[in-house]
Amino acid sequence: MKKLFKYLRPYRLSISLIVLFIFLQCLCNLYLPTLMAKIVDNGVIKGDIPYIWRIGGFMLAVSICAVVLSISAGFLSSRTSSSFGRVLRSEVFAHAEQFTLHEFDHFGTSSLITRSTNDITQVQQLVNMMLRMMIMAPLNFIGGILMAVYTDARLSLVIVVMVPLLAIAIFAIFSRATVLFKSLQVKIDKLNRVLRENLTGIRVIRSFNRVDFEKRRFDDANLDLTSTTTRVQKIMATLMPLLMLIINFSTLAIIWFAGIRINNGLMQVGSLIAFIQYVMQLLFSIMMVSMMFFMIPRASASAARINEVLEKVPEIADRELVRHANGAPGTIEFRNVTFSYPGAEKPAVSNISFVARPGQVTALIGGTGSGKSTLVSLIPRFYDIDSGALLVDGIDVREQSQENLRSKIGYVPQKAILFTGTIADNIRYGKDDATDEEIKHAADIAQATGFIAEMQNGFDSFIEQGGTNVSGGQKQRLSIARVLVRRPEIYIFDDSFSALDFKTDAKLRSALKEEVSNSTVLIVAQRVSTVRDADVIIVLDEGRIAGIGKHRELLETCQVYREIVSSQLSEEESA
């Protein structure tokens, strides 16, 4: 928790003002009962109406002051805690942005979302509470005791009995609730995960008639969260009545003993009223602090989860001294590269060596799970290799800045991703300042103009979240256009033509050939027809290179390639 407080530093001025306002408000509150005692003792009992008016008016002024100070402090503390939450959210977001895909897997998307929203809200609420309570509670407590002792020292013995009683009750309840508070956040995570899987996988769930099963799964997670929340609430619900019982007994005891003292002429009625008010202030300050303490376990569990994200050092970081390439633009060279996913038994790709040159189309083909996607994801440095060297523009990717490296690469992922916005926005994602002509040209090459023209608003048609209102093939073509508009040195198409029909696939590749003739093009594909015209074809088998060459050469030399070809093409086609 403490580690997060450093984000409050920029708000030192606001915090100082809050402390000052609350300090003054407490002084006002402590002064009011004394004025009240004066009115009763000197005004009411003696029947001095002008005195009542005078002191009453003064009391009103003090009360108004207290209200204004309280509102100002409340306004400032809400603003400070909200800003603290905003800064923390951006920190978590910016840090998570640097994570490698492996680190994303480690936390899980749902948990990262809960940590950036609900967990930060918990900490934010505690900060808000603390800003007000940290000064108000001790002041009211100490001031209450001092003023009570000042009003009537002997009667103050009641406090000596009550305060420990109150503390024991709070501690008993507090220790039971702490454990439950911690488990609440984990259960929210779980509920979010089930909800997310349900919402994103709704088509599969419906097609497999698993709606009832998923409903039960959701109900289980929901019930689990509800039952823990209910248990916490039940414990919390006992707190208030118990505290009120102790407070009411205290009042009773005070009135009882004060009655005896007033009867004996040792105390005045006004002092009794003031005394009760001071004791109330003191007890309420204990209650406020106890409330804050109830928030601490949950907020500190949340703070630990936030810190876990903030302290996770991204596996991939830029070297302090990065090198810039000055030759061989676009050349990609794998030198005996081996890479394993963290925790995997065997490497996903082993001993890979090849060079992809500018002006050439290099294709990767292989069975499913043979390591094609893994291999191309090493080039933009989504993962770091275990051994060997991977050079882009003649320099090891680990010696370049990630931004510089990625600016050279146009990567179309296997699963096309679109963002909420118009079609033009989605294509412009590749190049912020792309003109309308450039966008149209990219769409032309990607064979997307046809279906865009058929849409109601053309390039201004809206793409829903996740691109749900366009087909798989349309999504692929838009994500290809997004890369084309960028005109990078290197194009990586990871199985990006798989959802296209043969005709569109062929048209797109021939348009692409002219468009990107000077760049390095890497095409990952399952279909032989997509790769047969490539300048170099690399055949992958279980993470190793089984053959490198042109279509005809491989047909003669590579058994794995022959098997792939014969499984897809008729004999005349393959020739």
Ligand X SMILES: Nc1ncnc2c1ncn2[C@@H]1O[C@H](COP(=O)(O)OP(=O)(O)OP(=O)(O)O)[C@@H](O)[C@H]1O
Residues lying near ligand X in the complex (CB under 6 A) are found at 341, 344, 348, 366, 368-374, 414, 526
Residues 483 and 411: beta-carbon distance below 8 Å: yes
Among positive and negative, which fits the CA dihedral 210, 211, 215, 221?
Answer: positive
CB of 207 to ligand X, least distance (A): 21
CB of 431 to ligand X, least distance (A): 28
Question: Which residue lies nearer to ligand X by CB, 56 or 413?
Answer: 413
Q: Which residues pair with 537 in a beta bridge?
A: 363, 549
Residue-level length of the chain: 575
CB of 380 to ligand X, least distance (A): 14
CB of 495 to ligand X, least distance (A): 6
Rg (CA), the chain: 36
CB of 106 to ligand X, least distance (A): 11
Residues 67 and 22: beta-carbon distance below 8 Å: no
CB of 561 to ligand X, least distance (A): 15
Q: How far apart are CA 95 and CA 159, in angstroms?
A: 51
CB of 101 to ligand X, least distance (A): 6
Buried b (16+ CB within 10 A) or exposed e, 184-218: bbebbbbbbbbeebbeeeeeebeeeeeeeebeeee
Question: Which residue lies nearer to ligand X by CB, 297 or 366?
Answer: 366
| Lookup: tokens for 259 | 């009655």
Phi, psi of 458 (to 5 degrees): 55, -130
Looking at residue 536, its amino acid is V
Question: Which residue lies nearer to ligand X by CB, 415 or 550?
Answer: 415
CB of 332 to ligand X, least distance (A): 17
Residues 11 and 77: beta-carbon distance below 8 Å: no
Question: Which residue lies nearer to ligand X by CB, 88 or 348?
Answer: 348
Question: Which residue lies nearer to ligand X by CB, 290 or 374?
Answer: 374
3-state secondary structure of 390: strand
Question: Which residue lies nearer to ligand X by CB, 31 or 354?
Answer: 354
CA distances from 512 to 26, 100, 376, 527, 534 (A): 75, 31, 19, 17, 12
Contacts of 555 (CB under 8 A, 6+ apart): 561, 562, 565, 574
CB of 414 to ligand X, least distance (A): 6
Looking at residue 429, its amino acid is Y
CB of 525 to ligand X, least distance (A): 9
Question: Which residue lies nearer to ligand X by CB, 249 or 382?
Answer: 382
- Work out the angle between the directed axes of helices 502-515 and 436-445 (0-180°, nearest 10): 130
Question: Which residue lies nearer to ligand X by CB, 28 or 537?
Answer: 537
Question: Which residue lies nearer to ligand X by CB, 151 or 350?
Answer: 350
| Contacts by residues 55-63 (CB-CB < 8 Å, ≥ 24 positions apart) | 59/32, 59/35, 62/28, 62/31, 62/32, 62/35, 63/28, 63/32
Contacts of 53 (CB under 8 A, 6+ apart): none
Question: Which residue lies nearer to ligand X by CB, 413 or 421?
Answer: 413
CB of 364 to ligand X, least distance (A): 8
Question: Which residue lies nearer to ligand X by CB, 508 or 540?
Answer: 540
